[in-house]
Amino acid sequence: MSNFAFVFPGQGAQFVGMGKDLYDKHDEIKALYEKANEVLGIDIKKISFEGPENELKETKNAQIAIVLHSVASYKLLIQKGITPSVTAGHSLGEYSALIAANALDFDDALQLVRFRGELMSRAGEASPGTMAAVLGMPADKIEQVIAEIGSSTLVVANYNSPMQTVISGDIEGIKKASELLKERGAKRVMPLQVSGAFHSPLMGSAFNTFKLALEKIEIKNPSVPVVPNVTGKLTSSAEEIKENLGNQIISSVRWVDTVRNIVSSGTTSFVELGPGKVLTGLIKQISPEAELTGLENYS
């Protein structure tokens, strides 16, 4: 069985206890978590399973915990003979997607994700910013409002669905945009509890340092096409994947394009692997004709 898109969630999907059910049932998942502890030099298993929640929510921990849970879920599906025809991930989830497509080594991914989380946290402290979710307004109208405000750091961070878009930038810019978007008819504008303005120019310091680290990592041509967030287009080029993986830190997540291009390629069945069902909800909004299922159907 291989006509499935495997999709993987990003930061925010984490919860205390995530992955413990898989760990308790499967020896290979126990080995996966033990290896992660060894590679990282931290007890990410304990943080994932026991918390406390505030420690798990820290960017440097949450990102690793989500990737681990996602990869554990993926490995169980592979054992059952269920393989992807294409993979994609939302922001952080792109790393899980690359592992699933055999483009990125698991150990390298763990170290990259840990470093990425640390850099993003530092960038958030050095250049304070925030994010907000805008509901019930088309993305082009949101872009118009951002252009009117004229802030060099205010951008669309996530094109999540036709009627859910996330903006990111400096605190004052987000405040102005939120007020103006409400005036222009946005159904809701919700501030997000984040430690920085992710996927915006305020992550510039993280981007520059991360690009240097990424140069030392081998990324191979994937065994199936992957969809980078930056383009939202299917690719099988290792060079393109590496370039976009670096740019992702300061670029928009084009999830609407990602889903539409996967469906256009002929894959209409999606499996969300990892904590939560956020992507499943977004995919339903983007492509109502898509078939969606979860790991529980196969475990």
Query: Token pair for residue 250?
Result: 């300061």
- Give backbone dihedrals phi and psi of 226, rounded to 5 degrees, phi first: -120, 150
Q: Which of 199, 251, 252, 287 is catalytic?
A: 199
Rounded Cα distance, 144 and 115, in Å: 35
Rounded Cα distance, 87 and 77, in Å: 14
Rounded Cα distance, 77 and 261, in Å: 24
- Give backbone dihedrals phi and psi of 6, rounded to 5 degrees, phi first: -90, 120
To the query of whether residue 90 is one of the catalytic residues in this protein, the response is no
248 neighbors 94 (Cβ within 8 angstroms): yes
3-class state of residue 25 by DSSP? helix
To the query of whether residue 85 is one of the catalytic residues in this protein, the response is no
| CB atoms closer than 10 angstroms to residue 149 | 14
Nearest one of 146, 150, 121 to 134, comparing CA atoms:
146
Q: Which of 73, 91, 96, 195 is catalytic?
A: 91
Find the distance separating the first CA and the last CA of the chain, reported in whole Å. 15
3-class state of residue 192 by DSSP? strand
Nearest one of 201, 60, 62 to 127, comparing CA atoms:
201
Residues that are catalytic: 91, 199
